[in-house]
Structure 1
Amino acid sequence: MSAEMLGPEARAARDLIVEAVRIRSLSGEEQQVATFLTGWMSSHGFKARIDEAGNAVGERGDGPLTVALLGHMDTVPGDLPVFVDEAGVLHGRGSVDAKGPLCAFMSAVAALPEEALRSARFVVIGATEEEAPSSRGARHIRTVLQPDLVLIGEPSSWTGLTLGYKGRLVARVTVIKDNFHTAGEGTSAADDLAEAWFRVRAWAASRIDASGVFDAVQATIQGLDASTDGVQQHARATLGFRLPPALSPAEAETEILSLLGDLPGLSVVFTGHEIAVRYPKDNVLTRAMRVAIRSQGGTPVFKVKTGTSDMNVVAEHWPVPTLAYGPGDSGLDHTPEERLDLQEYGRSVAVLTDALTRLALSAPGN
């Protein structure tokens, strides 16, 4: 559908996502897009501000029920051409992950009827540094907001409801050994590092769960390097782990250290401790979203994902009904083919507007 055929609200929602994607916003460099997003919210009925963590925050409504809609406005690197093709598909970095979901949140809250705004308070957050290990924006907002319901802005397709994400742990492994002639006996620092990886890989494989990959341990090499200065050999690897709900990062750390403790000259530094989370299928939030998806002609589909998101960051601080939702194919995240069908984006806005209205009007006291 062309922009000329859209109504004012739909046209505003479309213009919002196109312009947001045009603004480059790598992790740590979100100020320009935050200024744009808060400006848009201010002109569409929100009380908007940029907070101490650089988050773009907008609020509408003053009812007793607080709904947090936590998206993120940073992207991974990749200067992709930004354009809308003849089929109405928006191409560009961040269109899927995750400016599409965030802009859908903003557009839906902007479209809410007055009766919903009298019954609930809606807080939209465009968080900083979600794509970085720091998760700066989510870590800040979780300390200053206590919502009753939480939507996380991540691509799930317009009919998808994401209930959980795996946990994460990163291990930076270093082996340092005195240099020696390669014709001599013994192992090099690189040999010992390879042995460490073989042990870790076997450990991860031993924890395969029959119920599927979400409940298994996944291990990958994210970086690898070896060098010598003529006196010492240095071998370094960054290992990434995706963890199931049954294994906490602390437990994984203990098990990995026990595997590698006999390797001389080896040290490990752990970062990225994110606990896996999985929410139940049936609660007030999932019920409202299912009804709204069906009202738009879709069939709701529950999902869990093997990655991580800001859901992991806020889960322990916000023990309330939570799910992730947003337009887009998550298989296109971080790829050169990242693109978002604007018709699907519009359906997501309609679903969210419907669901948020239902939640507000069904809140206690109404």
Structure 2
Amino acid sequence: MMKFNQAGVPETLFGLVKHYSPTGEEADVVNWLVNQFRENGYDQAYQDTIGNAIGIKGNGPKKMVFLGHIDTVPGNLRLVVKDGEFWGRGTVDAKGPLAAFVDAVNDVQVHPDWQIWVVGAVGEEGDSRGAWHLRNQIQPDLAVIGEPSRYDRVTLGYKGVIQFQINCEQPVSHSAGENSSAGDKVFESWQKILLRVENYNHQFEKMFEQIQPTILSMSSSQDGFTQKAEMKINVRLPVQVSPLDWKTNWLLDSVGVTYEIMGEGINAYECDRNSELVRAFVKSIRGFDIRPGFVKKTGTADINIVGPVWNCPSLVYGPGDSNLDHTEEERISIQEYIDSVTVIKNALNLLSIAIM
């Protein structure tokens, strides 16, 4: 049975949010969550070698994983309960979804054929080291990743991403001369890439299917002898364009510039809408006499990392309005949170993984 504090906030949600844990400072909240697993009778509860909080309930051969992240962006917020909403850093992104996983699994009895993992992963707002570590440690049969999309919607995809830099270095020339400056050449290269992207995007109406390049920073300088210019660009990629494809086929030859790729990039990931897992969540949401929604997001999440390796039925789910992510207005409806816990429990029951 879900427990509430005197302010009417579910204790699991309040406890996670109360422990401020920006990326790199998750140790205290991880210890708190591991203790919660133990107090609620999980069969195993521990912190793994990378720092993730792990709770396992049940001992069957089949595995279902609820993967949330326990870190937040920086910027602590005052905890406030007002008009049925709980305000605080992480209430939406993404301690709300993680807490909902915990409260749902706390309330069910796991079928003997199954074990349910609840994971509070570290580092998602940074290098996602928690997910990178976990993806090769277990092989689940079903996976739910925790990110906010409201209690009545299921998220089925996240775009990929790659970053690169356009660089130009050349001898200084007079600004009144015929030669283009280093900045001109970098900008010309950017315009060529942008034109090709725009031509590609005309084929697709949905943003999830389009390429989205964005300038992160640009600068130019000279010391009297040498001009330098650079532009750093972030590119959100659809399923059809992999980071390798972008590196190989999309960076056009431009005179006088070089391209510097930053990291390997991350592939987009799309879940199977017709999987048994998605059907169970959809049916559970319909139990509220509402029409379930489906979402594909233009950001990147831990499912991009674990999904291709686990290769099992999966989806992304969690209460909260993602428009409030990373803002000073971050807050979650307590009733929506409660409803999301019910959705998860009913889905587990429909999948014959657990009973309430």
Show the counterpart of 1:321: 313
Structure 1: tracts of 5 or more residues without a match? 1-7
* Cα 1:226–1:91 shift into 2, 3 Å: farther
Partner Cα separation in structure 2 for residue 108 and residue 266 of structure 1: 52
Show the counterpart of 1:284: 276
Give the superposition deviation at 1:151: 0.2
Does structure 1 conserve the Cα–Cα contact (< 8 Å) formed by 2:215 and 2:232?
Answer: yes
Match runs of 1:185-204 below 5 Å = 185-204=178-197
Give the superposition deviation at 1:289: 0.8
Give the superposition deviation at 1:237: 2.1
Partner Cα separation in structure 1 for residue 205 and residue 293 of structure 2: 18
Does structure 2 conserve the Cα–Cα contact (< 8 Å) formed by 1:104 and 1:348?
Answer: yes
One-letter code of the match for 1:358?
L
One-letter code of the match for 1:175?
C
Show the counterpart of 1:159: 152
Partner Cα separation in structure 2 for residue 157 and residue 101 of structure 1: 10
* Cα 1:280–1:226 shift into 2, 3 Å: same
Give the superposition deviation at 1:230: 3.6
Residue by residue, what CA displacement relative to the aligned partner does 1:198-233 show, whole Å, maximum 9, x if unpaired? 122112211113341111111111122223334333
Show the counterpart of 1:178: 171
Give the superposition deviation at 1:81: 2.5
Give the superposition deviation at 1:313: 0.4
Show the counterpart of 1:305: 297
Match runs of 1:1-16 below 5 Å = 9-11=2-4, 14-16=10-12
Give the superposition deviation at 1:49: 1.0
What secondary structure is seen at the aligned counterpart in 2 of 1:9?
coil
1:119 aligned to 2:120?
no
Does structure 2 conserve the Cα–Cα contact (< 8 Å) formed by 1:176 and 1:266?
Answer: no
What secondary structure is seen at the aligned counterpart in 2 of 1:308?
coil
Partner Cα separation in structure 1 for residue 22 and residue 125 of structure 2: 8
Show the counterpart of 1:62: 59
Give the superposition deviation at 1:40: 1.5
* Cα 1:25–1:67 shift into 2, 3 Å: same
Give the superposition deviation at 1:92: 2.1
Residue by residue, what CA displacement relative to the aligned partner does 1:20-50 show, whole Å, maximum 9, x if unpaired? 2232222222112211211222211222111
Partner Cα separation in structure 2 for residue 235 and residue 22 of structure 1: 45
Partner Cα separation in structure 2 for residue 78 and residue 227 of structure 1: 33
Partner Cα separation in structure 2 for residue 16 and residue 198 of structure 1: 50
Show the counterpart of 1:108: 104
1:28 aligned to 2:24?
yes
Give the superposition deviation at 1:146: 0.4
Show the counterpart of 2:207: 213
Give % identity: 38
Show the counterpart of 2:71: 74
Structure 2: tracts of 5 or more residues without a match? none
Does structure 1 conserve the Cα–Cα contact (< 8 Å) formed by 2:164 and 2:259?
Answer: no
* Cα 1:362–1:75 shift into 2, 3 Å: closer
Higher share of residues assigned helix: 1
Partner Cα separation in structure 2 for residue 189 and residue 277 of structure 1: 37
One-letter code of the match for 2:106?
A
Give the superposition deviation at 1:265: 4.3
Partner Cα separation in structure 1 for residue 179 and residue 304 of structure 2: 44
The 4+ residue runs of structure 1 with deviation greater than 6 A are none
What secondary structure is seen at the aligned counterpart in 2 of 1:79?
coil
Give the superposition deviation at 1:329: 1.0
Partner Cα separation in structure 1 for residue 258 and residue 115 of structure 2: 52
Q: Which moved more, 1:349-358 or 1:99-108?
A: 349-358
Q: Which moved more, 1:219-228 or 1:182-191?
A: 182-191
Aligned residue among 74, 89, 92 for 1:96: 92
One-letter code of the match for 1:141?
L
* Cα 1:131–1:272 shift into 2, 3 Å: farther
Give the superposition deviation at 1:312: 0.6
Show the counterpart of 2:325: 333
Show the counterpart of 1:237: 231
What secondary structure is seen at the aligned counterpart in 2 of 1:323?
strand
